[in-house]
Amino acid sequence: MKEHFNYLVVGTGLFGSVFSYEASRRGKKCLVIDKRDHIAGNIYTREVRGIHVHEYGAHIFHTSNREIWDYMSRFAEFNHFINSPMAIYKGEIYNLPFNMNTFSKLWGIKTPDEAREKIREQIDGLPIGEIRNLEEQALSLAGTDVYEKLIKGYTEKQWGRDCRELPAFIIKRLPLRFTYDNNYFSDPYQGIPVGGYTAIIEKMLEGTEVRLSTDYREFEKSQKTAAERGEDFISYDKVLYTGMIDEYFDYCLGNLEYRSLQFEVEDMPECDNYQGNAVINYTEREIPYTRIIEHKHFEFGKGEGTIITREYPRSWKKGDEPYYPVNDEKNNKLFSDYMELASREENVLFGGRLGQYRYYDMDKVVEAALQMVEKEL
């Protein structure tokens, strides 16, 4: 017997789930598979003693797009959490993002004019013309102290390479402000879903067939074999693939580069409050992790005891989890070559952070998935 689906969706992350939800609403039959043993991809949260543990690193939903905010609000109520991380450099604590609180602590100044003057003094005479890399971008915006203490070490351990070999856009993700405002994002809409992110994906996938611990290649092969043997098999018109695009093509043009992470979780049932903030960054090179997150603070201290996660950046090799695309010139060029191949795959769509090889935040992923739905359906 043959079971037929309109779409085989590879990946239960945000992209695959938004697409499946919308396709199902439009009467399409989807089968969603994931090689992991849980749904939700990197936004997966797990509840422990009333604490939602962000299993793959801190996830704060933020957007400037009202439509995307309203869309996500259909699936969850968002609390009013505002991300205000702190940074520790050689035992000194600073506010992030770079703002008057940071400058005041660094230089003992009080006014925006004094801060601007200090930065001007620091960049005066530096040989920076047209911005070519992250180091030049950071120095020209914030001066040498901010760069040396809060950016250089963090960035080099996060990306495993010199700041001069990284694209400038990475640091432009962070606001630089001459006001006393510690909000890490400039978007008007921000929050954490009450009940965790996994519940959002559960709602999106409600009524849709999901198979976990199922890798695409193996699944495809097994269905082909079953069909050849005259056994029950599954067929589909189209595939939406949200895994790594280079893996899909068997790395035939070479490897795209990624950065990986190792998450070290520490459960402290006896401790009520470990660090007093959801996110603390460790910006010096010598400390091997980039940040410690304390999950209960995303929901204003709810839950018993506490759980923290240290985030260690790692180089990526085949088989590791690819958390970040490395969008430098070389990799972007290789990606566009893969896109050329992708355009010849008539019945396969590529989406999400890995399928589109972009340093996408969640709101952009939802936006891109909805755009794909518009185009496709």
**Catalytic residue numbers, as ranges:** 173, 177, 259, 291, 311, 359, 361
173 binds ligand UDP (CB under 6 A): yes
Cβ proximity to ligand UDP: between 10 and 293 the closer is 293
- Answer whether 11's CB lies under 8 Å from 39's CB: no
Write the interaction track for ligand FAD spanning residues 253-292; mark x where CB under 6 A is met and - where it is not: --------x-------------------------------
Q: Measure the CA–CA gap between 41 and 45, rounded to whole angstroms.
A: 10
Question: For the purposes of burial, counting CB atoms within 10 Å of the CB of 178, is it exposed (0-12), middle (13-18) or buried (19 or more)?
Answer: middle
> What is the smallest separation between the CB atom of 197 and ligand UDP, expressed in angstroms?
15
151 binds ligand FAD (CB under 6 A): no
Residue 3 corresponds to which amino acid?
E
142 binds ligand UDP (CB under 6 A): no
Applying CB under 6 A, among 24, 42, 45, 158 the residue interacting with ligand FAD is 42
58 binds ligand FAD (CB under 6 A): yes
155 binds ligand UDP (CB under 6 A): yes
Q: What's phi and psi for 93, nearest 5 deg?
A: -110, 135
81 binds ligand FAD (CB under 6 A): no
**198 membership: H or E segment, kind and range:** helix 197-205
Q: How many residues bind ligand UDP (CB under 6 A)?
A: 13
| Distance, C-alpha 116 to centroid of its chain | 32
Q: Measure the CA–CA gap between 84 and 311, rounded to whole angstroms.
A: 18
> What is the smallest separation between the CB atom of 155 and ligand UDP, expressed in angstroms?
3
Can you list the positions of beta strands (E) in the chain? 2-10, 30-33, 45-48, 51-54, 61-63, 86-89, 92-95, 189-191, 209-211, 233-241, 258-268, 279-282, 291-294, 306-315, 324-325, 348-350
Applying CB under 6 A, among 156, 299, 361, 367 the residue interacting with ligand FAD is 361
User: Can you give the binding site for ligand UDP, defined by CB under 6 A?
Assistant: 87, 96, 150-151, 154-155, 158, 170-171, 173-174, 281, 283
Q: Give contact residues for ligand FAD (rule: CB under 6 A).
A: 10-16, 33-36, 41-43, 56-61, 215-216, 242-243, 261, 323, 352-354, 360-363, 365
